[in-house]
Amino acid sequence: MPEFDADRFAEDKYVDYLTDLQQAYKNAFDRMNDRYDSKLVHAIDQEVLNESEPFYEGDGRFRLEVPEDPADRVTSVVVGDEKLQGVLEAYRETVEREIARQFGFDPDEGSATAAE
């Protein structure tokens, strides 16, 4: 893993950090697949997160932007909007934590530090 550089991540994340991002997404998929309906997790992975964009927010935190209208994109499974939104939000947060871990950040550290 190359040393994390916020500027390089912003400019060329898919060149400099592609392998790390792929591993983080895979780890998130595995975690989600253990907790939720595997067909729904797979649908979100393939039909929504395939066009997501990670951004570094600073202080070891990442934000995952997903495409607009995710409910319109998920066509391979029948799911209610509320359930889809709940699982998608959990998946998005899981990806953000896994990216942070992949780059050596403790994703839970910020909230513990802020409380002190």
pLDDT tens figures, 6-59 = 999 999 999 999 999 999 999 999 999 999 999 999 999 999 999 999 999 999
Q: Six-digit token pair at 74?
A: 């998920």
Q: How many Å is the Cα radius of gyration of the chain?
A: 15
Amino acid at 101: R
pTM of the model as a whole: 0.88
What is the average pLDDT score of the chain? 90
Handedness of CA 93, 71, 35, 54 (dihedral sign): negative
Residue 91: CB atoms within 10 A of its CB come to: 25
* Contact predicate 55/65, CB 8 Å: yes
More confident residue, 2 or 29: 29
Measured CA to CA, the distance from residue 78 to residue 29 in angstroms comes to: 20
